[in-house]
Amino acid sequence: MTQDAATLDELRRRLAPAIADAAVFDGWTAQAVAQAAAATGTDPELAAFAFRDGAMAMITAWIDHVDWTMVGAVTPAALSNQPIRERIRRLVWTRLEAVAGREEALIRALTIMAMPQNLAASTRLGWRSADSMWRLAGDKATDYNHYTKRAILGSIYAATLHVFARDKSEDKAETAAFLDRRIQGIMRFEKAKSQLLRKPDERFSMTRLLGRMRYPAR
């Protein structure tokens, strides 16, 4: 990445929260970029250039900002003594806290991301967010588990964002309960998968059981 590109990425990430604030009222539009530039003292022409690719560029920058916030707020050391379900829950909740107060902007962003022309980019962004969370949680899988874990967490995170965006309960209690149920589902899946993939001689075998019943050990 060139220095100019790196500088633009930094600018996008810095402007992203202000754009999200403006998007609550103006949507993910050029007007939101102009409002963010004015609020942060940024050259409006430079801001417009940085987001010349439109709404998805703005949303991508916002997600970059959330990634950056999560990494700064939750260190691997802070997670080291927690069970995996608590690590994942904390990381997801940290991301939700980073967008709190901008629920209307989130709803608008999710709507844009769901448009057919944006699905491929949205899928990549979801994968990247899930990958960031698993890496911070200490996951080192390199086989197919690497992919299944990220696919499952990405779908859970996306669903939780939809609940969070519309949750009017006190302290987002409905979102917390939803997330806990989904994480519990991950844990059950991982347990079942580990049992299924145990060594052949450790798996339950109906044939072996019937054989023992017919020819009991002497």
Q: What is the pLDDT of residues 156-174, one digit of tens each?
A: 999 999 999 999 999 999 9
Report the SS3 class of residue 86.
helix
Nearest CA-CA partner of 101 in 168, 21, 196, 35: 21
- Cα separation of 66 and 73, whole Å? 10
Q: What is the pLDDT of residues 98-136, one digit of tens each?
A: 999 999 999 999 999 999 999 999 999 999 999 999 999
180: left (phi over 0), alpha (psi -120 to 50) or beta: alpha
Residue 186's pLDDT band, with cuts at 50, 70 and 90, is confident
Residue 190's pLDDT band, with cuts at 50, 70 and 90, is low
Are residues 36 and 15 in contact, defined by beta-carbon separation less than 8 angstroms? yes
pTM of the model: 0.83
**Where in the chain are the domains?**
1-52, 55-214
Architecture of the 55-214 domain = Orthogonal Bundle (1.10)
End-to-end CA distance of the chain: 71
